[in-house]
């Protein structure tokens, strides 16, 4: 089985594939202070919970946007499974031309998302990823990565509001019953949630106008299912987009 590891700034997501099928998925908090040994213990315990033996994992691929954790993840795979993992980065075969001014600047997760979405839709694309940052990635109808937009993530923006406004309480990021709040909590929830809906729709409209070709608009990431039903531009949510992209890239780099 293939272990796909998506290292983000907030969470690390592990996906276990049996062929093309994602059979298990685990999410743990990203901690730069943990050692490779600690991460190895965690993943083996998680697999044991699902009755998966370590020797069933025969391959691994890693996409990391946290450089300090790339080597610990490589060590994790060596120590827990006795394997060498493939790392998404310069030199890997993606099957996608990267038309960024400096391709090395593009986050691994953004390329992985673009590859997975294009493999599915084979059309122009805008991929919206609701992670620590909210990113918009554009792919041409020919499957070229064109660039995109990086905005502060929902949680980051909410945390800044809670920290900098002394009289405002911390509230759950959830859809309020109406846009116009009648109390502080619902007013804040409306600003956070509907503010981000407006951000997504506004940026998507501008991107579509600038690109000049039809695009499927696909969302992924932790809060995608909160924002997507309220958005008029997001057409589909794929929770497993990044993990699927890692599997595709692993397959493209065999042999």
Measured CA to CA, the distance from residue 111 to residue 53 in angstroms comes to 31
Which stretches of 69-169 are assigned E, i.e. beta strand? 86-87, 125-130, 133-139, 145-152
Give CA separation, 207 vs 26, 64, 88, 226, 249, in Å.
33, 26, 27, 22, 27
- What pairing do the DSSP bridges indicate for beta strands 21-29 and 236-237? unpaired
Give the burial class of 209: count Cβ atoms within 10 A of its Cβ; 0-12 exposed, 13-18 middle, 19 or more buried. Answer: exposed
Under 8 Å between Cβ of 51 and 58: no
Give CA separation, 254 vs 34, 86, 207, in Å.
31, 10, 35
Give the burial class of 3: count Cβ atoms within 10 A of its Cβ; 0-12 exposed, 13-18 middle, 19 or more buried. Answer: buried
- Annotated catalytic residue 240: no
- Burial pattern 39-63, b for ≥16 Cβ within 10 A else e, equals bbebbbebbeeeebeeeebebbbbb
Q: Which of the following is catalytic: 109, 129, 137, 238? A: 109
Mutual orientation of helices 36-49 and 67-81 as an angle, nearest 10°? Answer: 60
Question: Active-site residues: which are they?
Answer: 109
């Amino acid at each position: 089985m293939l272990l796909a590891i998506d290292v983000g700034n907030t969470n690390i997501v592990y996906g276990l594939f049996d062929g093309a099928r994602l059979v298990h998925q685990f999410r743990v908090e990203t901690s730069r202070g943990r050692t490779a040994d600690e991460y190895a213990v965690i993943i083996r315990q998680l697999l044991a919970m699902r009755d998966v033996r370590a020797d069933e994992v025969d391959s691994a691929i890693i996409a990391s946007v946290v450089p300090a954790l790339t080597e610990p993840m490589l060590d994790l795979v060596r120590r827990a499974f006795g394997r060498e993992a493939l790392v998404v980065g310069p030199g890997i075969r993606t099957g996608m031309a990267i038309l960024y001014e400096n391709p090395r600047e593009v986050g691994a997760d953004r390329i992985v998302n673009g590859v997975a979405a294009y493999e599915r839709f084979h059309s122009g694309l805008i991929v919206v990823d609701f992670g620590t940052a909210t990113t918009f990635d554009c792919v041409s109808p020919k499957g070229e990565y064109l660039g995109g937009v990086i905005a502060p993530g929902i949680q980051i923006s909410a945390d800044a509001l809670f920290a900098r406004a002394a009289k405002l309480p911390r509230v759950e990021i959830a859809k309020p019953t109406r846009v116009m709040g009648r109390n502080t909590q619902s007013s804040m929830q409306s600003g956070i949630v509907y503010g981000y809906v407006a951000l997504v729709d506004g940026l998507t409209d501008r991107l579509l106008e600038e690109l000049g070709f039809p695009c499927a608009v696909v969302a992924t990431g932790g809060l995608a299912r909160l924002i997507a039903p309220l958005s008029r531009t997001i057409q589909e949510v794929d929770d497993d987009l990044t993990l699927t992209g890692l599997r595709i890239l692993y397959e493209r780099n065999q042999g």
